[in-house]
Amino acid sequence: MNKWRILKQNREAPAAGLLLLLLYGAALFAGFLAPYSPTEEFRSHFFHPPTTIHFKRQSGGYGAPYVNATYLADPMKHVFTEESSFPVRFFVRGARYKILGIFPSDLHLLGVDHPGHLFLLGTDQLGRDVFSRILYGAQISLTVGLIGVFITTCLGLSIGGIAGYTGGWTDALLMRIAEVVMSIPAFYLILSIRNIFPEQIGETHISSEATYVVMITVLSLTGWAGMSRVIRGMVLSLRKQEFILAAEAQGGSAARILVRHILPNTIGYVIVRATLLIPAYIIAEVTLSFLGLGIQEPSPSWGNMLSAAQELRVLQHYPWILAPAFFLFLTVLAFNFFGDGLRDALSEKQ
């Protein structure tokens, strides 16, 4: 447990870990935390700026938070005017959703009575609540990285392990393939593999669940090469060591020696590498969806939410549309800090 202590002594890693827990927790309980459904459109409130939460009473003094209802006063200049106020309520009933995708519920942490609205981060071009969409989008954007890296790690471990341990023709073949994969610039490769999978079958677009699986597959197929090359190198040096020779002398099968004795010794590198690979995958998903090649509307992903910002007019007048990118920044930052702390902890010699 020495490693844990070193990790905890690191200044940033525990905070980063906590932030990651918060982000993933928010994604898990998106339904409860989001005031609205991600697809609910408030057509009369499109591109609404973030709702101000007031604490100051008109009569002076401070009290419970409230918001002012708004209506579009000047459609030409897109100006919203505030009128009657409504208190911010906790644990309100609202749009239906499923907790963990199983238990139906309609309880929300925050809410405001009609006709007031609680757009914490404003609304998009169709009047959908950006904050709610960020939370639901996190379910996709954050997990693509996690699952993708898990599969990449399994591929890297098995391919690198087999190549390094068996050697000979298998090794040469696998490593030449890995070299070819690594020679194609990453994003070009991602795009070409993405292109194999159809956008639509017949007339209907494929579902966002299918796209989700496609994205994970694409990322895993591009990332394995780099990892398996390093693992192979580590296996090559490990297999010459005495404890492996001893295991071989005792008649352990190749598979058993590889899985039980060699690969566990690469675990430190694998964990660090995987932690630092997750943000790269998350960014790749966001980029693909941003370019319109990933998760399709109306399902939210941080990437396709940013697509609206490609229009300069939108970017200039409704800057809150960039909010998902700041969440992306936070996530990447947290993963980098956490991975760095892990590396320090694991590279420390006992």
Partner 1 sequence: MRTFILKRLLSIIPILFGVTFVSFLLINLSPGDFLTTMSLSPGVSPEHIEQLRRNFGLDKPWYVQYGLWLYRLSPFEFPAGLKVPDLGYSFSSRMPVFTLMKERFVNTLILSVSAEFLIWTIAIPFAVITASRRNRYIDTISSGFLFLGISFPQILLSLLALMFAAGTGWFPIGGMHRLGHEVLPFWSRFADLLHHIFLPAFVLAFSEIAVLARFARGALRDVLSADFIRTARAKGNSESRVFRRHALRNAVNPLVTLLGLSFANLISASFLVEIIMGWPGLGRLTYDALLSKDLYVLMASLIAGTIFLIVGNLFADLLLAISDPRIRYE
**Binding site residues, partner 1, CB under 8 A:** 176-177, 179-181, 183-188, 191-193, 195-198, 279, 283, 286-287, 290-291, 306, 309-310, 312, 315-316, 319, 322, 325-326, 328-329, 332-333, 336-337
User: Judging by beta carbons within 10 Å of its beta carbon (0-12, 13-18, 19+), is residue 252 exposed, middle or buried?
Assistant: middle
Examine residue 198 and say whether the peptide bond preceding it is cis (omega within 30 degrees of 0). no
Q: How far is CA 3 from CA 241, 282, 336, 338, in A?
A: 25, 27, 18, 14
| DSSP letter string, 33-74 | H-SS-TT---GGGTTPPPPPPEEE-TTSSEEEEEEEEEEEEE
Minimum gap (Å) between residue 199 Cβ and partner 1: 9
Supply the DSSP symbol for 260. Answer: I
Q: Which is nearer to partner 1, 141 or 266 (CB)?
A: 141
Strand partners, 54: 66
User: Judging by beta carbons within 10 Å of its beta carbon (0-12, 13-18, 19+), is residue 315 exposed, middle or buried?
Assistant: middle
Q: Which is nearer to partner 1, 72 or 182 (CB)?
A: 182
Q: Which is nearer to partner 1, 35 or 324 (CB)?
A: 324
Q: CB neighbours of 263 closer than 8 A, spacing ≥ 6?
A: 157, 161, 231, 235
Minimum gap (Å) between residue 281 Cβ and partner 1: 13
Minimum gap (Å) between residue 45 Cβ and partner 1: 23
Minimum gap (Å) between residue 190 Cβ and partner 1: 9
Q: Which is nearer to partner 1, 25 or 319 (CB)?
A: 319
Minimum gap (Å) between residue 176 Cβ and partner 1: 7
Alpha helices in 74-207 (DSSP H): 130-166, 168-183, 186-194
Minimum gap (Å) between residue 170 Cβ and partner 1: 17
Q: Which is nearer to partner 1, 47 or 290 (CB)?
A: 290
Q: Which is nearer to partner 1, 98 or 176 (CB)?
A: 176
Handedness of CA 191, 193, 196, 199 (dihedral sign): negative
